[in-house]
Amino acid sequence: MNTADLGLPVDVPSTALFTDQYELTMLQAALKAGTAERRSVFEVFTRRLPEGRRYGVVAGTGRVLDAVENFRFDAGVLGFLRERQIVDEATLDWLAGYRFTGDVLGYPEGEVYFPGSPIMRVEGSFAECVLLETVILSILNHDSAIAAAASRMSSAAGSRPLIEMGARRTHELSAVAAARAAYVGGFTTTSDLAAGFRYGIPTVGTSAHAFTLLHDTERDAFRAQVDALGRGTTLLVDTYDVAEAVRTAVEVAGPELGAVRIDSGDLLLVAHRVRQQLDELGATDTKIVVTSDLDEYAIASLAAAPVDAYGVGTQLVTGSGHPTASMVYKLVARAESDDPRAPLVPVAKKSSGGKTSIGGRKWAARRLDEDGIAEAEVVGTGAVPAELAGRQLQVELVKGGEVLAREPLDVVRDRHIAARAGLPLSATQLSRGEPVLPTEYVQVPSGN
C-alpha cells in the first residue's frame, strides 16, 4: 500500500465538541482572570504500562493532526453552547475565532514508548492548548491500546499475515480507527471498507456461514462463490463437516483453490488435519486461514501449526484486555506572565497514590548499548547531553498551527517494525514482565 495518510477523503465535521465541559469553563475563568494567554506547555505521557506489557506503541498521531485542524467552533456548535449556557458570551466570542496557532512535538507515530515518555508536547497559550486535552487523549489512548495489542499479535505471528476483522465488535467509528491502529501495529489487511476508503489499507473478505446456509447444499454454495469470485477465493469449511467440506471445496475449485478458512474447533488439531487432506487432494498451494476469538496467546500457540494467516476481531479492537493506554495530558510549564518573552516555570501536581508528575518541558532520547540495542529511555529537562543529541525521539508535528508531519501509513508501519526490532529480545515475550527499558530522568530546572 502506497496511499499517503494525508487527511481523510471524506468531509470531517468539527471536532470542537469532542471535549469535556470543564475545558470550556476553565477557559471562561482564565479569560476573566487575564491568564488565558499565558504561554503554556502540556505533555502527554503515561505513568505505567498495562500490567505485564513490555512496551507501548504510539498510534493515532495522524488522526490527532486531523482533529486539531478541524477543531473549529462553527455556528451550530456555538448555538448549542449558548442554548445550554455552557459559557458566557465573551467566551463564545473568543471561541468563534479559535484556531490552534501553537506548536506540537511528539514521538513519531509507530515509535515505542515507556512510562514517563513525553509522547506528545503541546505548546501555545493556555486557552488554545487546554481545549485540545480531551480529543488528543481520546485518540491516543484508544489507538495506542489497539496498536500495542496488534504489535504483540504480529510478533507472535512472525511472517504470517494478520487480518483485522473486528468491526462488528465495536462502535462503527471506533472500528475504522482500530483498523488503522492495527495496521500500524503490524496487521496487513482489514475487512472494514471504511478503513480502506479513508486510509488506503488493503481490504479482504469472501463469505460467512450465512452464505453456505443460504444454499441447498454446501457444494452449491461453494460453486456459487467460485463462479463469482474465481478459484483463488477463500472457502469457509466449518459450517458442517470440515473434512467433507474440504473435499468438496477442492472438487469444485480444483487444486487452484486459494484458501480455506477455519472458524471453530481445536484450531491446532483441525489445521493439521486440513493441511494433510489438502496435500493428499493435490491442493498443495491452498492456504489455511484461521479465525475464532484469537489473541496473541492463541496465535503463539499455533506457531507450529500449518496455518498461513490469522483473522482477529474482538481481542484486537478491545486492546486484548487493555482497551486504553492510560495516557494523561498535564500542564508541565507556564510563563510567569502574559509577556510572550516571559520565562517558563515548571509546574507539577503533587499527589500521593502514584499520580505525581514531573514539571518542566522535557526532551527524550533512547540510549543504545554497544550492539545498537536500546538499553534506556532517557527523559530530561534543559540541555540534551551531547552523547544523546543524535538519539532524540521527538519530532515537530505542528509549527505555528501548521501541520508538518503527515506521513503515508506504510511509513508509520515500517517505523514500528524497526522500533520494535531495536528493543531487547525480551520485549516480544508474552509472559508478564516489567517494561523492557527503564526510564531515566535527567532534571536540569534552569533549562526551562
- 350 and 209 in a single domain? The answer is no
The whole-number pLDDT of residue 432 equals 86
The whole-number pLDDT of residue 340 equals 82
- 115 and 159 in a single domain? The answer is no
The whole-number pLDDT of residue 256 equals 97
Residue that terminates a domain, selected from 265, 295, 321:
321
Q: If you write DSSP's letter for every residue of 318-354 in order, what string do you get?
A: TGGG-----EEEEEEEEESSS-TTPPEEE-----SSS
Q: Are 137 and 44 in contact (CB under 8 A)?
A: yes
For residue 413, the surrounding DSSP H or E stretch is helix 409-421
Q: Report yes or no on 72 lying in a domain.
A: yes
Q: Domain holding 51: CATH number?
A: 3.20.140.10
- 199 and 267 in a single domain? The answer is yes
pLDDT under 50 in the chain at which residues?
1-6, 8-10, 445-448
- 302 and 329 in a single domain? The answer is no
Q: Domain holding 263: CATH number?
A: 3.20.20.70
Cell of 124: 501555545
Q: Which of 291, 288, 296 has its CA nearest to residue 245?
A: 288
Q: Are 398 and 388 in contact (CB under 8 A)?
A: no
- Domain containing 215 equals 148-321
- 241 and 178 in a single domain? The answer is yes
The whole-number pLDDT of residue 182 equals 98
Please tell me the total count of domains within the chain. 2
The whole-number pLDDT of residue 354 equals 67
- 344 and 275 in a single domain? The answer is no
Q: Whole-model pTM?
A: 0.93
Q: Report yes or no on 135 lying in a domain.
A: yes
The whole-number pLDDT of residue 448 equals 41
- 154 and 285 in a single domain? The answer is yes
Cell of 181: 491502529
Q: Are 235 and 289 in contact (CB under 8 A)?
A: no
> What three-state secondary structure class fits 92?
helix
Q: Are 266 and 300 in contact (CB under 8 A)?
A: no
Residue that terminates a domain, selected from 296, 321, 346:
321
* C-alpha gyration radius of the chain: 25
Give the chain's mean pLDDT: 94
- 301 and 176 in a single domain? The answer is yes
The whole-number pLDDT of residue 447 equals 42
Q: Are 335 and 343 in contact (CB under 8 A)?
A: yes
> What three-state secondary structure class fits 262?
strand
Residue that terminates a domain, selected from 299, 321, 343:
321
Q: 277 burial class (0-12, 13-18, 19+ CB within 10 angstroms)?
A: middle
